[in-house]
Chain A
Amino acid sequence: MFGIKSDWSLEVKDRYFTLDDYCGVEPRWCTGCGDLGILTAMHKVCREAQLLPEKIVSVSGIGCSSRLPHYMGTYGFHGLHGRALPVACGIKSRRPDLDVWVATGDGDCFSIGAAHWVHALRYNMDITIIVFDNGIYGLTKKQTSPTTPEEYLTNTHPGGSLLPPLNPLTVTLGVTNVSFVAQMVDWNPPLLYETLKAAHDHKGTSFVRIIQRCPVYMEQRSLDLQNDPADLLLLKHDDGIPVPDTVQKMFKNQLEHNPYDLGAAFTVAANTEKIPLGLLYRNPNARRYDEMTRRGLNMTDEERLKGLNEALDKFAV
């Protein structure tokens, strides 16, 4: 098949992939679930970039969001609750050729897997982390999550959630060596696509928090935001998430925000009155651990044998 590139040259490819090539089994998320839109955007990013399906690994933990690998036609790893990130980093450590995506949720990433969240950000390996944040535990049926709004009624806090929700953005921005932090809502497909594309293009760990609809256990939070986008703040910058003209006018509140300015990113992230959408922070120069872990990857057996003998000879008597 073929594709026409922007300079009008014709690129003939042996293989051309359609959206179908990135689809796995039919999703079993609830009707109206925001996860479906995220999955569609991911498929589109893969198709637009013509990524080789056999080189993609989508890794997840446990929860509604973590079913995502099954809905991708690529390699996938549906592991343990909270533990997607160590597995994803391990995959990348000695296989730099693989394109690693992580699908995780607010419980998976910010609660049971919180240690790995912090450290994966610091490792800054070239992986794309998408957090499906619906503010509630879905798969286990409506327990309080770290991002559940205060006083919201859940099955574990029937009198209302006791504490103010965790702010994942300020925590993320506080991690040394963090290199890409964005936030988006699931119900704006053009912006969601641009966000995931920018995240995937970034060299290093891209962290994207997606505020996601749960029509079953947390309907009101997203309905309010959908009906009145006054609480949303669109971040704009030449090096930010490109904003298609068609969606510009949907946002009353817009802010020119320099994504290289960590201090400004904190200010935007800490403002819980206005939910920022777009790229908060980007640091293309952060150290990348995957460039260190791949050390010695291309050694030949002869070189290895020589090295082994050298190591052993240090113990010779």
Chain B
Amino acid sequence: MLNQTDLTTPQPASLSYEFVPGGEAEPLDEHIVEIVSDSGEGAQKCGQLFGAISAQMGNGVWTVEIIPAEIQPPARTPEGASGIRVRVGSRLMTNMGNEADLVIAFNEQVLLSRIAAGAYKEGTIVLLDDMWASDPLEEIREAYASALEYIKSRGLILHEVSIQQECLKVIPDPLKGKNMFVLGMLCHIYNRDPQKGLAEIGKIFRRKKESVIRSNQELFAVGYDYARENVDYHFDIAGKAATDKPMVVMNGNQAIGLGVMASGMELVSMYPITPATSASHFLADDFNLTGGFVHQAEDEIAAIGFAIGASYAGKTACTITSGPGIALKTEMIGLAVMAEIPLVIIDVQRGGPSTGLPTKVEQGDLLASLYGAPGDSPKVILAPATISECFHFVTLARRLAESFRTPVLVLTDANLATGMQPFERPECDAEWFAPPIDQSDWDESVAAFDWHDETGLSARPIPGMRGGEYVLTGLAHNRRSKIAYDMVSNQMGCDMRSRKLAALAQTLISPEIHGDQEGDLLVIGWGSTLGTIEEAVDNLRATGKRVSSLHLRFISPLEPGLHDICTRFKKVMTIEMNYSDDPAASLISKETRRYAQLAQVLRAHTLLDIDCWSVVQGQPLQPGNVTAIIKERIDAIAGAK
């Protein structure tokens, strides 16, 4: 019950409420919950907090945001649906799963758009705000009534709930605050500890006035009580046994931002672009804690130019962007390759080509990253597959950039960017930071590009080092960095820059195989699809199918041993979120078929007939679909025996 003490007297930020515990809860292994609303109603914040509370209770969590492209799309329209999916389970959650089990909707129109997107199934529980039934406008009342019929006809289990009305009892304008009421409902429905909910609300509103914290906490408590009294569902998803190891929960862009701080880099130079910008938002808030600075440049080219300047001067810097930004930065990336400037470039991939799908996921920048510059432009490309890897790979990237005197591209995507997942709290170490810049005297007998003939590696004079004065140039140059258009020098420079990748490849180990070391089918993936692919492979292995998977973290250079691994399977295919021709489509033959991007690279790399399956629908892959695709392929292999 809400403890109705005198709210006018000053109190500590976290109020204490006495919650009546729910009754017997039905145990579940996992559930997928969606909260959908008009844009600006705070559904995402609600889902993130629900995820954080669940993570605190030892659950595995994965969240996916549902984001319209506009800031304020028209209200009550299917196109404007904004929201979040939270998958909560007893075990580690690595992807968004299939259809949702329960959805709370703020209006029926946004719900219809999710039904059209195939997000629900027969039996999905729908809790829909009933405020529209009594709307003053007849057309709204009618739209609402007809939607109710449609929703029921689809086999969804519909319950009307009074979100708006109940909130009005607490605050005059529920637009800001309804989400906390819903959070309270969810905490009761899923038997979450409501005290954790209050604490989380105190945390996210810590910079707001105390009255704001209090009213949100009150809405939460009212929502909790409302669900207890009016909603029959009461589930429990057991968390893992409490571990001693502390955990953190964040999304991939926050992990990238923290990774930049952990790497010791002091400068992020960026230009706003969805879905990358939130990494810089995070840094704009907290980068000062490690002495860093976010430079918002006048354009994408200036953003990377500024970072290159800092890197050249000895402070390896980072630029964070998305596909169209990479396109604009291409000439500068080529310069960094040519002049061997360490630099970390993070590409949070979105749908393309051109402006494409700004808020939605794709893995379409692999080939552009590899080959996007004129001439031969070898560089290191990494692809983190989890939120935790988003954090750790930034330090790895900085170190590789400096050791190999090269730009390093880190490819994440919109799925990782906004997906939240708990992981073990990194034990931070000052060893991760960049060493102080070397300002000792340079041995003048050593050239600015004193390439080691076998590895292409060389030490780098940093401005300020006496005796190291050299002129960096994007033109063909010799070891002394003098412009050289002769036949020997350009060949030599290209040899040496390419050799560095071979040298790096020497230090890598073969990728681990998920499943048996040999079998009928090997599925190869990269990036954010890790959890989905492995879940699908596990599903099929449980039914006796001989399928395994492997997931690449290094795209350039590729991890060693791929040819040998592939030959241990009857068939190999990639599963990716970028375009490939459907082999059954008209005019598509062996000669005309265009393969998915990693498949193209692997076919050239292994000289094996590696197949692929890929889509560009702007949605994260779902384990159910992927299971079906793999099963079809593996059955075809068995049929061919």
Contacts and interface: CB of A to CB of B under 8 A. Distances in A.
Interface of A: 24-25, 52-55, 57, 59, 69-70, 72-80, 83, 85-95, 97-98, 115-116, 118-119, 292-299, 301-305, 307-312, 314-317
B482 interface: yes
B308 A24 contact: no
Contacts of A310: 289
B307 interface: yes
Contacts of A91: 309-310, 312-313, 463
A303 B305 contact: no
B426 A312 contact: yes
B313 A299 contact: no
Nearest to A71: B471
Contact of B463 (A98, A115, A296): A98
Nearest to B53: A317
Contacts of A116: 298, 302, 305
Contacts of A94: 266-267, 293, 310, 313, 315, 317
A293 B295 contact: yes
Contacts of A296: 266, 288, 290-293
Nearest to B282: A311
Q: Which of B246, B307, B317, B472 has the most CB of A within 10 A?
A: B472
Contact of B289 (A70, A95, A311): A311
A311 B474 contact: no
Interface residues of B, number: 70
B464 A311 contact: no
Interface in B419-433: 422, 425-426, 428-430, 433
Nearest to B420: A315
Q: Is the interface of B mostly helix, strand, loop or mixed?
A: mixed
Contact of B474 (A24, A78, A301): A78
B205 interface: no
Contact of A90 (B308, B422, B466, B483): B308
Contact of B248 (A83, A115, A312): A312
B332 A295 contact: no
B320 interface: no
Nearest to A97: B464
Contacts of B470: 75-76
Contacts of B473: 70, 78-79
Contact of B425 (A59, A75, A93, A312): A312
B190 to A, nearest CB: 16
Nearest to A62: B474
A232 B277 CA distance: 50
Contacts of B463: 54-55, 57, 75, 91, 95, 98
B308 A316 contact: no
B52 interface: yes
A60 to B, nearest CB: 9
A93 B295 contact: yes
Nearest to B310: A90
B411 interface: no
Most buried by A among B203, B254, B315, B426: B315
